[in-house]
Structure 1
Amino acid sequence: MPINLQMPALSPTMEEGTLAKWLVKEGDEVASGDLLAEIETDKATMEFEAVDEGTIAKIVVAEGTDNVPVGEVIAIMAEEGEDAGAAASADPAPAPKEERRAVDEGSNAIGDDNRKTAPVAAKPAPAPAPAPTPASSGSDRVKASPLARRLAEQKGVDLSALSGSGPGGRIIKADIDAAEGGTAPVKSAAASAPGATPAVAPAPAANDFDIPHTSAKLSGMRKTIARRLTEAKQTIPHIYLTVDIELDKLLKLRGELNASLESRGVKLSVNDLLIKAQAVALMQVPKCNVSIDGDQLKTFERADISVAVSIEGGLITPIITGADSKVLSTISTEMKDLAERAKAGKLKMHEYQGGTASISNMGMFGIKNFDAVINPPQAMILAIGAGQKRPHVIDDSLQIATIMSATGSFDHRAIDGADGAQFMKVFKELVENPLGMLA
């Protein structure tokens, strides 16, 4: 029987992916473990392996195709000894809901080399033909090709206002291109729903095409960043609390520790010490080491710190698990390894998904202070600015000290302002008296 190869779910949050590249072609014989394709997810590009032996009878989804839903059939494989021609003629029907759920539930395990094996779907029963639906003036029911719908969404074109030039009045890509240029025919009032006013496609900015520019397709990671940050700002009531922290004692301790660790090849960064301070502060103020889960508030018993790392095309947050109980040399070694593998796209799923709180340090860019966006489902994130020489009052006298501004962003649904303030107070005390977090 033909085997339907489906778009795998490579992370619990993955709903669709980009079929970046096929590594096989129709007629190729494959064995279990052979690489079939490269799948671009919201985090990285991963390799898709075969689990059965057979022959690639038909490639259903071409390489470079965006927004392929998890569970959609991307290729048909003939079993060993089966006629590939007959398998190629099989109907690549979409997986039933039950099968898609199985794909999603099987998406949590990734091998040591960060690859995902595609689940094999059972042969679906023939689906009954869908009943025809009445025409509607809404853009969700207008007759349009999938490509036209995607382009319309990207360009802000109202499909319900257009008159399609395709078969049976179907809106096609050419109609979207014409609408963007202001030359597409629009529906007459008679063609619209009763009482509805035909919408006119928005005109492009007056000088949009006079400005020299280049265009690049958004990656899956960038799309996910845009979606998640928008959701975070729209659904999480942020409260921001800022403190100025004297760094001189921490910098002195760092120098002494690095001198003693030099023979072991370990060099602590300021960020390593701040990760430790945040983790210890979370354990001292457990009301900030929390997460909202539906109608429940989870309070975590250890501090797993997600550390923002800038990579090509976006941002990823590898996690230092149990940072409150780890020594600084271990935190430094783990962070260096995680950052290197993050930039190479080699992190395993459990190394960047989870965490109880986040830290983002932009001090190396000279940023004095900023407000970070909470990374859901976490309830707080620390934004770290640059340590700068500033006038500072010490023992009632004006002196010069190295001062760093740190801003905590808190989910006000889960963390009260007073608890957030208590956390920032403890964090400040730990950084200004760093021996306390080593005890």
Structure 2
Amino acid sequence: MASLSAAAAAQNFQMPALSPTMTEGNIASWKVKEGELFSAGDVLLEIETDKAQMDVEAQDDGVLAKIIVGDGSKTIQVGQRIAVLAEPGDDLSTLEIPEEATSAPKAAAPKQAEPAAPAPSAPQSGKSAASPPGKAQKQTYPLYPSVLFTLQANGLSKEDADKIPATGPSGRLLKGDVLAYVGRLSDSSYASTLSKQLKEKGHLDLSNIKVAAAKKPEPKPAAPAKEEPVPEPETEIAVSINLEAVLKCQQRLKETLGTTLPLSEFLERAGEIANEELPRSKNAQPTADELFNAVLGLDKIPSTSRGTFIPQTRAIPAVSGAFKSAKKSDIIDILAGKPSKRTAPKIVSAGAAAPVNVFSLSVPKEEARRANVFLARFKTILETEPGQLIL
């Protein structure tokens, strides 16, 4: 903290020297009111000189017990008492105000002038009874803010710091070293005690540290077995289709162009057309492109999609009453022209009775609507519009 004088219950706060040549200054304003607590680093007041306007910060926690020199005061000499400080928790109503020193220490004179007489509070020899056991040396590290402020408050310059015995780590100067040097410490054992503590605690004692035993990794609980999803039961949808129109179209094509188009080709082309623009599946998720276009308003998510249905077929004999169904024949084999061991659908010539075949699909329940639309289209194309399949 700034320069303090020992007192029974409070300390005098003197006008600090904010530069080596400063002898007096003006108090622009106090930033802390009487009775208010402050912490180290808080701005206590603002001081004006003929060269600059500067803030004075607190070096320790405390209470502003009394303001002696108020705002706007001019030409206050360095070392003159301007306030009284107390410790946090002190009862200000019963606080004993210390007396002001009879004379203020003089600031360091310019280099051209004769050396000024040392301040009354500083020892004439540069040493005091409480001088630390360290040795004076050039301070190569930046001075601590508390050290710099204490030097200025006691009329010492940065150059004087090289003359003060230092007890800090690596020979650094501490605030207590400066106070001991100017004789402001009543405890003569302070310096030696502090030096001993710094020496003892200047290194880490690892002799009592034991390496902890490595912990064995705890076995992770086995993950519960995932239940296999139960497949949903499929629904079979069937429709009977009369292929008479297809056979007639096939016959006309042969008579007109001399070309025979296999029945499997008619069925494949009818399936491709029937799969176009079917109602969109309930489980179908829109693609990234469809979502992006919908957000931009370029297009709506379509309500239709292309199907992939391939019906199976089984022939029904042209008999009245109940009929016996033959074994199912996969239409993939029919379209590929592969021989099948299954019973082939019985398809009669155009001059015979109308050939009727049953086409069916086995689909999940949620696909039943799409499958019905597909089979209805498939039936319509083969029974009424087979001519479009040869274009």
TM-score (norm: length of structure 2): 0.26
Report the TM-score when normalising by structure 1: 0.24
Larger radius of gyration between Structure 1 and Structure 2: 2
